[in-house]
Structure 1
Amino acid sequence: MTELYLLAILVSILLDIVLFYKVTKLKVSKAHFLFYLLLVIIGVICSFTGYKAILFYNVLAIVILNIIHKDNNNLTLISGTLIYIFSVDLIIELLRGVSLDVIEKFNMSKNEIEWINLGCIFCFFLITYLIVFFSANWIRKKLTGNNFRIFFWLILYLYLVTLVIAVVYKGTKNIPPATIFFLSFLIVQFIFSLGLYYLMVKNQKVLLKKSEQDKIIQEQEQLQEYTKYLEESEDELRAFRHDYRNMFNSLKISAQEGNTKEVIQKLDEYTKANLNAKAFEKYRDVNHIKIKSLKSIIIAKLTEMYREHIPYNFECSSEITKLPKNINEIDLVRIVGISCDNAIEESKVLIEQNQEAHIEIMAYSSERGEFEYEIQNKRSDSEISIKQIQQSGYSTKKSHSGLGLANINSIKNKYENMTISYEVPEGYFDFYLVIEPEEESEE
């Protein structure tokens, strides 16, 4: 009978390891065989010692498997999966103990009880396997999703509560009242944990939705401001044309009399007074962009530059009506947004240092479908390494030109027909993007 119990313990430990890899989808390495063997040996020893030793084994298993898969760099997935499996083991073991306590109330021989106990062990092994097996994908998604921290701490909380109940239950002889209490407490805690997790996730979704709505409202305000600008510009042009006609009529006599000096002087004064307003050039050429998402991000960034009093110039001489078919608009919008943010941040630094700032932006689309985008901004005198600014996590207080370029490169790698180059001519940072039209396959 002892040999069968030892076999059951070995099966339990090996089953936990198998289920761990089922959930995490990590690869088993033959090079770490000694680690696996160490886990099995310690697990067998601890199983004969008690719950305190089992807790030590569980912690050790988490440490060892994190060491084995340190290159994976996902502490939450590895630790969370093991805690979940150990929690299921504890709950099933607790149920097995309760079942055995109830069976012992009947007049049965010790040998019969041992055989029933052994049968329960293997039966509950199967239940454990089925529970973890069918919930594997769900657990992995929760431990790698947006709310992984919340889910991890809920699993840990459930594990600790279950462990405390198991330890107290093991030392309690008041059966069945104590049993009913502990099991009821465990069920309540489990329901509470699920409810708390649901409410937290729901609250996050509400906050995210509100954030998205705020963003939409902001974009609408920017578009409304752009529309207002177009209307005002149209009125200004109409008034300008009317005034200019009247001015020319008034200058006819001077011109006919040959007083060209007076004509030139008055024209120069009128031009300076009416054509140098910054607001007049605020959104120049934006109307040539017909792609709504691209137009929206350009308007948003030009508005920000205008509000921050950053001198800029935007040029789009040709109409942009479409992008190459394989390009996701959202990816292009992200690239434009990041590159503009970099230029704006660097310009703010220059203005704070009482230095001259300026941003030049160009967008172009050829007849054959090629798309070009370039943004150039003045920068501080500090030297910039093109290789360094593209590395993930790189930042500097002196210059923000490299911020987010690692993200841009990750987007670029998705497209074979997208080329991005960076240059740092003296006093400037230049970002240049070209998207070639996708070649049509010959039938």
Structure 2
Amino acid sequence: MDTRAYLFRMFIDNFMFVFLFYMFNTKIHKKKYWLMLLMVILKFFCDLFLEFTEFIPIIFGYYILKEEIEDKSVILNKVLFCILINKIIFISSSALMVIFMTSQNKVSYMYVLAQISIDYILAFFLLYVYNKFAIQSLIEKYSSNLTILLYTYIIIVVGFIGYTAHKREIFDQFVLGILIFLVLQTLFVSALFIWMTIKQKERYEQKIKNQELVYLKKYTDSLEKDQEQSARFRHDYKNLILSLKEKAEFSQDTALKEKIESLEHYSQPYLTDKFAYRYLKNVKNDYVKSLLISKLYTASQKYIHCTFECPNVIHNIPMDIFDFVRVLGILIDNALEAAEESEQKELAVAIYQDKEQLEISIINSCNQAKESINQLTKKGVTTKKGHSGLGLSNIEEINRKNENMFVNYQMEAEQFIAHVVLIAKEEDL
């Protein structure tokens, strides 16, 4: 290629990075445009004497964005992304020129201008893709030290191959191979990043779940302690009332006896063991215990007569614990809402477990439902106003993915019964 045309091409190439940088980061203050002009001039002269000058746009880009963005990893990811896109555009246009231009045309300004035109056509296309798929938000969301390393790896490898091809004067013959290599490397690195992101997300979610379990256990232990103290107080209080009644009867003090009976009647609702504490102690899973405490407390607040039975100790849940909590929570929530609307306002929850299976039985009073049970389990069907009707249908979805789970519903006279059976897995036996 003609030296002057080559230098012209080298100078214009640096403006492509500036174009991409400002198109991908539209909120940059206009007063900083002169810095990019300075970067173009500095990089042009450095390109004459140095082989790898990508550190120059990285430094300038970082300096310009640091006042707009606080996260350093996001800044570096955005700058490296612009450099990578610039390289993709250059290699793609070079490949097209090799295919469609003859060797005689590769020495003129027309060749350079044609390639520059292709560069900007590709740039506008990629800008459309960038905005269409909100890639900026993806970069900001998933930016990390890992993505910085991946971008850097691709840029260095492609730069090294391009440098070697230029030195051996075989760039035109290798440009298609470099483009294919770049695409394959980008796909490979993208797949690797997605896989590592998924694994990192799983580890993070597990960490959050473990942290939640710690807090949940502390909360449940505190509730248990409070309930134990309340149970002792109720026991002592009842004994005190009984002692005072006996003393009043012995002294034949009718007025005192009436006052004590009035106090006993007044305090009776507050002396009821609303949480069935002795059975809750048998539930050893903190997630399940916390859910039950919360729902039983809700029942007491809604003045629903609630009974809970769990005669055997519950250690192992033969399904994913979070699916189990969802199922139990949906069933009790539905039962509470139906019981609250009914005249009887009754709810009974029972959990039984032996070596073979775990059973849940939830019985609640209800008004006579117009819809059949088959209808209620369909998505979007509900008897409650303002509800989406996803409760029982969600249970059906969980049921389908757990082969050891069996669900049965029964509608009797003003009573709804939900029965869930979980068959113990081999590892639980």
TM-score of the pair, normalised by structure 1: 0.48
TM-score of the pair, normalised by structure 2: 0.49
